[in-house]
Amino acid sequence: MSKVTRIATFNPSQEAWGSDAEFEGTCRKGELRGIIAINQDNCVGCDTCSAFCPTEAIKGSLGVAHKINVNRCVNCGQCLVNCPFGAIEQMSFVDTVMQKLSDPGAFVVAHPSPSVRVSIAEEFGGNPGDLTINRLYNAFELAGFHNYDVNFAADQTILEEGTEFIKKVQYWLLGERGGDLEHMAAHPFPHFTSCCPAWVKNAETFHPQLLAHISGAKSPIQMGGALAKTWAAKYVWKVDPRSVYMVAVTPCTAKIFEASRPEFNSARQYLIKNGEIPTNTPNFQDIDAVLTARDIAEIFRRKNINPLTLSDERADETMNVYTGAATIFGNSGGVMEAALRTAYFILSGNELSNPDLIAVRGYETDIVEANIPIPLKDYGGKIAEVKVAVVNGASRNIKTIVDRLIDDRNKYHFVEVMNCPGGCVNGGGQPVRTMGTSWLHPLLPLPLRA
């Protein structure tokens, strides 16, 4: 197997947060821009990157250094992990987090995503999956972090998103009315997942007609950030919520953008509303910093920590409890499968006899389609055929799925979209092999470009 390649990074400049204008291009006030950048000195203009860009944000002639249009970029990093020449770089908060880890007044929390635990070993010479989650927890603790697993929040996400989907089934498919179902009138089928920040940004910029269809549930990382600074700070850690510094550890460069979105400061709003912090407390985000899998490996290296050599022993902790539904979020189809399990249980009154919904899995197919029959307990066992689709990589499939929906609004009830082929396991923040990640089947053969 090829070696892992170091990816060049740069610290965010003050200009990365934009000016005081409410809008600049496709970014709002305070939102980060320029997270992915092409080094003009290293780019040879081979044009490989643009074949993997889902939004045609990369421009340049063959043989001439390319550039990224930040107003079209969704920060997914697929161009970066597939660049054969290492010419594409990533904004990094490693130095910022290192300073926080040295601050005795900061309660710094590592918030690791599901797929980081199966990839981080590669940064230390291991094979994919050569690491237990306990070793990773121990490595975080040795580096100075406290632990809060994103999986803990992913289980809460799926309860939110699954319940939202069930209400749409009741309103639109079964014709029920009344109570808290009425607001579903403004949120028709198909129901789109919302965990992928590159997909959400893509929809906002290029397909705004789909926004009413996207789940209102936050991503697990953002749910975790808000819960950490409210419930966990008060009842689990018993610390001042203003001292909690949440560091999401992700496979995804688009999460760096997501954390900067102005609406994701709900912990501060809640704490002020309930009189738990002064009203003049300066603004703080629910997630303070985002590190990619490559970034956290860099922090471990700076602190001379090799997680592969650490103990596999660790006691269970409140913030690190989760189910298998949370774990599969990192794979294409994982969010869909977890949500359908919840929907099946609530609508039928029974657990699935086999929770493996294999029909929605797979990264060898661009778009996975399936019909999931659900017996309805309140309708004498009548079968509801739930039509679902999983979009496996946005660079080739988003336009296809949008065209299908315009042609037939009833084609699907539920659609999962993951920007990166294979899902988060192939995210733009994952370890990069010298051969890139383009060996994944859905990307081959490379799409022809006019």
Output the six-digit token pair for 182: 């009425």
Show the CA angle centred on residue 25, arms to residues 22 and 30, nearest 5°: 40
Catalytic residue among 160, 219, 255, 416: 255
Residue 43 annotated to the active site:
no
Catalytic residue among 122, 123, 160, 161: 161
CB count, 10 Å around CB of 299? 23
**3 state DSSP class of 67:** strand
Q: What interhelical angle do 150-168 and 334-348 show, nearest 10?
A: 50
Q: Which residues contact 154 (CB under 8 A, 6 or more apart)?
A: 114, 220, 322, 325, 326, 329, 338
Residue 263 annotated to the active site:
yes
Catalytic residue among 122, 123, 164, 416: 164
Catalytic residue among 122, 258, 298, 337: 258
Strand partners, 146: 109
Q: Are strands 23-24 and 27-28 parallel, antiparallel or unpaired?
A: antiparallel
Catalytic residue among 43, 73, 76, 195: 195
Residue 194 annotated to the active site:
no
Residue 31 annotated to the active site:
no
Output the six-digit token pair for 15: 């200009």
CB count, 10 Å around CB of 105? 9
% helix / strand / coil in the chain, to the nearest 5?
40, 15, 45
Q: Which residues contact 389 (CB under 8 A, 6 or more apart)?
A: 190, 367, 368, 369, 370, 401, 411, 412, 414, 415, 416
CA distances from 389 to 174, 359, 365 (A): 21, 10, 11
Residue with tokens 């990074």: 9
- What is the gyration radius of the CA atoms in the chain, in angstroms? 22
Residue 2 annotated to the active site:
no
Please give the single-letter amino acid code of residue 295: D
Catalytic residue among 56, 182, 263, 385: 263
Output the six-digit token pair for 255: 């999460």
Complete edge-to-edge strand list for the sheet that includes strand 367-375:
191-192, 414-418, 383-392, 367-375
Output the six-digit token pair for 322: 């989760």
Note whether 303 and 94 are within 8 A (CB).
Answer: no
CA distances from 243 to 100, 103, 240, 351, 372 (A): 11, 10, 6, 41, 46
Residue 160 annotated to the active site:
no
- The catalytic site residues sit at 161, 164, 195, 215, 255, 258, 263, 424
